[in-house]
Amino acid sequence: MTDAALDPATVAPSALQRGAALARRLFRHLSFRIGFVIVALLVMVAVVGPLLHTADPTAMQMRFRFRPPSARFWMGTDALGRDILSRFVHGARLSLVIGLWVAILSGIAGTIFGVLSGYVRAIDSLVMRIMDALLAFPPILLAIGINAALGPQVHSVIIALSVSYIPRTARIVRASALVVRELDYVQAARISGASGLRIVLRHILPNSVGPLLVQLTFVFAYAILAEAALSFLGIGPPPPTPSWGNIIAEGRDYSVEAWWIMLFPGLGISLAALGMNLLGDGLRDVLDPRLKIEG
Amino acid sequence: MDGSYAAKPMLASKVDVANDGKTFTFALRHGVKFHNGKEMTSADVQASFERYRRISPNAAVLADVESFEAPDPFTFIIHLKKTNAVFLDVLKSPVYPFVILPAEQKDKPAREVEIIGTGPFKLGEWRKDSHLIIEKFDGYVADEGGKPADGLVGRKTVNVSSVRYRFMPEANARIAALQTGEADIISNVPRDLAGRIEGRPDLQVNRILACQQYFIVNTQQPPTDSVQMRQAIRAAVGVDDMIGAISRPAKRSHSMTIPGGEYYGGDINNGFYDQKNPKLAGELAKQAGYKPDHKLKLMTTATYPEFRDAILVLSEQLKEAGIASDVQMVDWATNASNMQTGNGGWNISSTSFCSNPNLGPQQWKFMVYNFPHVKNDAELDAAYDKFYTSLALDDRKTAWRVIEKRVLEQAYMIKIADIGVIQALNRKRLPDFRDFYINRFWNISLK
Amino acid sequence: MLRLVAVRLTHAVPVLLIIAVLAFLLMQLLPGDPAVLMAGDGASAEAIQQIRERLQLDRPLWEQLVSWVTHLLSGDLGTSLTLNQTVVSAVAERLPVSLSLAVVSIAITVPVGILLGVIAAAARDSWIDVAVMAIALLGVSVPSFWIAILSVILFSVTLGWLPSAGYVPLSDGFLPWLLALLQPAIVLALFQVGFLARMTRSAMLDVLDQDFIRTARAKGAPESRVLWKHGFRNTLIAVLTVVGYIFSLLIGGSVIVEQVFALPGVGRLVVQAVLARDYPLVQGTLLLFGFIFVLINIATDILYVVVDPRVRYD
């Protein structure tokens, strides 16, 4: 990059200041604070948990089947005598990894389609019709279809869910692009010979970041719920993978006698989705109060 | 088929078998009515057999048929090209049943026949995923000359107007339905949930041990194409953990026949069972040239938790022996289809057999060859040939012992346990219901 | 008005076509050979080949696509591989179940969701607002299958108040029908109620901030009248926008709820079709869901005009 305006030396201070101001405003927002604490806790569980609690999440001990929560097994054991805490901790990691990847992938792909559609008018109609068509399939159904095609693996769950949420992110970026490209100074930049790529990078993307980030936070929450649902239906990551949905699916027959098997992962899913939704609410209120994004 | 799984005539009054084991003459009962009101004759029987030979997946069992013959309306004769000592036993197959349909149905493709039978119940309404209703067939003609009801044969009287099967995939929902009186009888109660029902005096729990669960090892897929590798896997297996894990009633047994059956051979092939020897497994795997980066592919399904759980335990036991594996979850249809075609790159899968262990070696043959994809095993071929052509039962028993030994020794299949199903019913409402491997709703009253 | 309907329908044609192609392509990615599956246990190679020919699975992809679209145009969605009936009749058979579930669920969602949203907006920033929004937030965060299982344990297994599974057709009586659907419909509605309440609240807050509301209040109009007549009527547009999305959520949610409550609906049909790799059935049901969704969106657009005559489509 030879462009002086993109030189970090000149951009960084103001960006830093703006970031700090934004963070202060966000942390004054109650929902954001609560969401942040929940998500931070779960991230800690997912990152540090496997290091502290070293029990093998797939190791079986038949003599310890269906043990209720105790000092030895904090969350009890399942039908195969596996330690639920250990499976919970690994499940947290998987859920967050899947949510994060889905948010990243659908964010990137949605941005590409949104920018193309909003900036290159010639293909706008086609791209948006394809997005409309994709949008016509309920995400979980589309994911079921794609996942069945690709085989039940972690990466196919990520791909399937990412595809399902692309239309939503693409629409948001396109909407920003449409507004920005008509602004006077952008028109001026174009007339003065700025390249399309430059306009996209300098003007369209920065203006889409806010709404996109809000949307992606909700996508993150839905991806966690959808992954759990896919696992529950038997088309998620295969056992013995300790995913929250798998633990519930494997424990659902014993929900009366061994309530702990499905209680903890259910709480985990709910908390993770709740935390992300709260973060999203806070981001939305602060970044763009007029925004009506709901996933 | 009677209560001890022996072949018995039902629509025929008797069967004559020629001394050479090649000609079978069936004297059909007079006055047997189809559900459409028509009387059954030998033409219907012949048409049904011809249809079976043409479109049944199990058609190979009729490969040795030279001709069918219907000399008069109530006589049907089957001529074989070569001796088959157990041909009548072949006909009792419940997996691909020989059903007699009206002759007009003979050209209908597979799965497109109208459901018109000769039994005491006729089809009422069938809604996929919801329910199946069978109704009392008023035109049913009981086998008056026959013995009292026994197994699936004998005199049958229907005292209920209809039976409604509801399909409820969730075990909790099934049990709740029985507890609240929504259902009179439920099947497939997970072992660990039976306690919920056992406490109630009006409800009864039946444990019916009629199946056997195995690991099937694919002989065409490296590295399990090597016999040492298969034996290594067998050496790693400890069945007690598997019996503990599967939520079914289960009993240790090394045999491919249910104890008490005609062909049960005692402890003779006991040595291949429950070796629980990870060290030996590691050595055998090494001899087979196994490298730890080559993961075995274990294919299983969540449709049947007992298959999945056995595979998950196996995966851990293999790990202990230094053999790495990946579990691949598919739906049951894919699992079954891959098991038969050998597709999908699987090394080991698990399944259970519910009729073969009871019905005898002739029903086993297809599975023994087809599932592990056994090729060029002269010893097994010879033993089966001897089995089919031996008219004396003792010779057939000897042949079966050789077959059983070969299958277990080569680790084509690895026996896990004899397993069963738990059924529960409302004793007050169904006082004279008697359990069998399949539910029978004749000769019972509903209170 | 007629012209509006015509314009919207014309706009929908390319989308419908793309949906058809997507539904077709998606299923081409599926692994496994349906012919082998259909032929059943241990079928001979000839039997498998016969089935393959009968279903034209041996023809090139584009030929299959052309034949798929042509058949579509004549209302033929193909024949299920596993059910021995046409896709249309299989779906038609199960549609009453899913529709019943949708109707009961919507009948719960719309009044409850809107009411909660309006209450929260009216009591802005009070503890009532916080409590209502917390409930709404839980609704969109708790996985429905988990709540469904817990609910069965409580209401069916422990208390024995509601049937645990199965469907009773409307022809067997209104009460048994409703009773069988009540539990799944409530579980299904939880997410949509939360979603709708959150939407309604923020739309209401926007409207309540505006001048004409202040004027109405200044003129001494009773608060309830201000809230409903002036406030809520003007949020209808925003609420209508999400109706299509709520339907989409409903269809997606019904897949899971029908599974847990063993309701023989279209959602269960599609899951089983995927598991059995019943290509035509998956295609047909996905397509149908897509079409229904597009039609609902058209209906919503038209409703806009009815609700707010300022909106024009040209």
- Identify from C146, C151, C154, C235 which residue to disrupt to test chain A contact, counting A C-beta atoms within 10 A and taking the largest count: C146
Name which of A150-159, B343-352, C232-241 the model is least confident about: C232-241
pLDDT at B228: 93
Q: How many other C-beta atoms can be found within 10 angstroms of the C-beta atom of residue C190?
A: 24
Average of pLDDT values for B158-186? 88
**Helix (H, G, I), strand (E, B), or coil: what is residue A287?**
helix
- Identify from A58, A61, A67, A80 which residue to disrupt to test chain B contact, counting B C-beta atoms within 10 A and taking the largest count: A80
* Partner residues linked to B153 by β-bridges: B150
Average of pLDDT values for C53-80? 77
Q: Are strands B121-127 and B75-80 parallel, antiparallel or unpaired?
A: unpaired
Helix (H) or strand (E) holding B12: strand B12-17
Q: Which residues of chain A have pLDDT under 50?
A: 1-11, 292-295
What's chain B's average pLDDT? 88
What's chain C's average pLDDT? 80
pLDDT at C221: 74
Q: Select from B171, B303, B329 the Cβ nearest to the Cβ of A238.
A: B329
Q: How far apart are CA B156 and CA B442, in angstroms?
A: 6
Average of pLDDT values for C45-56? 69
What sections of B288-440 are H helices per DSSP? 305-320, 332-341, 356-359, 361-370, 378-389, 393-409
- Residue C42 and residue B55 in contact, taking contact as beta carbons nearer than 8 Å: no
**Helix (H, G, I), strand (E, B), or coil: what is residue C180?**
helix
Q: Percent of chain B having pLDDT more than 90?
A: 45
Of the pLDDT bands very low, low, confident and very high (cuts 50, 70, 90), residue B347 is very high
- Identify from C30, C33, C37, C41 which residue to disrupt to test chain B contact, counting B C-beta atoms within 10 A and taking the largest count: C41
Sheet of strand B23-28: strand arrangement: B12-17, B23-28, B75-80, B65-72
Measure A11 CA to nearest chain B CA, in Å. 50
More confident residue, C249 or B418: B418
Report CB contact under 8 Å: B329, A240.
no
Q: How far apart are CA B160 and CA B158, in angstroms?
A: 6
Q: Select from B241, B247, B302 the Cβ nearest to the Cβ of A79.
A: B247
Report CB contact under 8 Å: A252, B305.
no
* Partner residues linked to B325 by β-bridges: B296
Alpha-carbon separation of residue A252 from A257, B359, C201, C272 (angstroms): 10, 35, 36, 19
Angle at B316 between CA B314 and CA B322, to 5 degrees: 105
Report CB contact under 8 Å: C44, B340.
no
Helix (H) or strand (E) holding B205: strand B203-217
pLDDT at B41: 92
pLDDT at B383: 92
pLDDT at A293: 46
Q: How far apart are CA A206 and CA A186, in angstroms?
A: 13
- Identify from B61, B112, B337, B355 which residue to disrupt to test chain C contact, counting C C-beta atoms within 10 A and taking the largest count: B337
- Sign of the C-alpha dihedral, residues C166, C172, C173, C174? positive
Average of pLDDT values for B420-426? 92
Measure C251 CA to nearest chain A CA, in Å. 7
The string of pLDDT tens digits covering residues C111-131 is 899 899 988 988 888 898 889
Q: Report chain C residues whose CB lies below 8 A from the CB of B176.
A: 152, 156-157, 160, 164
What sections of B375-432 are H helices per DSSP? 378-389, 393-409
The string of pLDDT tens digits covering residues B98-132 is 889 998 888 887 777 888 989 899 999 887 778 89
Q: Select from C37, C93, C262 the Cβ nearest to the Cβ of B173.
A: C262
Of the pLDDT bands very low, low, confident and very high (cuts 50, 70, 90), residue C308 is low
Name which of B73-82, B216-225, B303-312, B356-365 the model is least confident about: B356-365
Q: How far apart are CA B198 and CA B189, in angstroms?
A: 12
Report CB contact under 8 Å: C275, A133.
no
**Helix (H, G, I), strand (E, B), or coil: what is residue A77?**
strand
Longest dimension (CA), chain B: 68
Report CB contact under 8 Å: A144, C149.
no
pLDDT at C301: 77
Q: How far apart are CA A149 and CA C277, in angstroms?
A: 9
Give one word for B405, left, alpha or beta, with left for phi > 0 and alpha for psi -120 to 50: alpha
Tokens of B439: 């539910």
Report CB contact under 8 Å: A239, B308.
yes
pLDDT at C47: 66
pLDDT at B70: 92
pLDDT at B205: 92
CA-nearest of B10, B132, A271, A116 to C138 is: A271
pLDDT at B296: 92
Please tell me if residue B200 touches chain C, with a CB cutoff of 8 Å. Answer: no
Angle at C297 between CA C295 and CA C303, to 5 degrees: 105
Q: How far apart are CA C220 and CA B436, in angstroms?
A: 80
Q: Report chain C residues whose CB lies below 8 A from the CB of A144.
A: 255, 270-271, 274
Q: Report chain C residues whose CB lies below 8 A from the CB of A150.
A: 29
pLDDT at B227: 93
pLDDT at A7: 47
Q: Report chain B residues whose CB lies below 8 A from the CB of C90.
A: 128
The string of pLDDT tens digits covering residues B249-305 is 999 999 998 888 788 888 888 889 999 999 999 999 999 999 888 889 999 988 888
pLDDT at A295: 39
Measure C161 CA to nearest chain A CA, in Å. 17
